[in-house]
Amino acid sequence: MDVNFIAELEILFRTNFLQAAPLYQASSKFKLPYEDIKKSTTLYRGSLNEVVRKVDEYADWYQFKEEGFPYSPDHARAKVRQFGAEAGIFVDGFIRLENIRNHPSHDPRNTADMRVVDIFDHADGRRNFQIILADNPPPSVNGPDAQIPPWVAYRFHFAAAVVSSEYKKASSV
C-alpha cells in the first residue's frame, strides 16, 4: 500500500475528527506514554489528589463489499471522512459524560477542568492513531480460496478526566 495514500487518509481523518470534536479541541491535552496504553494511567497529579483513568482503545473497520470491484481509493477516502466525523462525535460525547459524572450541576460542554489523551501522538513520538488499509485484488475464484475484499480501519487510545481544583473537606469518622 502506498505510504502517501495512508498519510492522506490520516489527514482526512484528523480534519474531519477535529471538525466534529470541538470539546476535544478545547480541552487540555497530554501525550500518553506508549507503555501506559494497556493500563490505568494518571491523567492528573496535584498536591492534594490524583486522577486516574483507564485508557480505552477505540476502533472501527469497514469492508468494501457493496461497491464491487475494482476497488477505488475514493471509497476509502469517503469512508475515512465518515470515520473521522463519527469518532469526533464519540469523543465529544465521552467528554460530556465525564463532565456530567464529576460536575452534574455544570454545563457538560465545560472544558476548563478537562484533561484528555492526545489521540494522535504518544509522549515518545509513536503514533497513537493508526489507519489500516487493505487493497486486495478481486478474487479470481469463488470459494474458500477467494481473497478478502478491500477494507479500511482505524484505532486510537483515549481517556478523559475532569480535574477539580476545589478543596473538599474530609469527612470525620
pLDDT of residue 69: 44
Measure the CA–CA gap between 74 and 121, rounded to whole angstroms: 26
Q: What is the DSSP string of the chain?
A: --HHHHHHHHHHHHHHHHHH-HHHHHSEEEEEPGGGTTSEEEEEE-SS-EEEEEPEEEEEEEE--TT-SS--HHHHHHHHHHHHHHHHHHHHHHHHHHHHHH-TTS-TT--TTEEEEEEEEETTS-BS-EEEEE-PPPPSS-STTPPPPPEEEEEEEE-EEE------PPPP-
pLDDT of residue 46: 61
pLDDT tens per residue, range 115-164: 888 889 988 988 999 888 877 655 555 655 466 777 888 999 888 887 76
pLDDT of residue 13: 92
In order of start, what are the domains of the chain with their CATH numbers? 3-162 (3.30.2400)
With a cut of 70, list the residues of the chain below it in pLDDT: 1, 41-50, 66-71, 136-147, 164-173
pLDDT of residue 49: 61
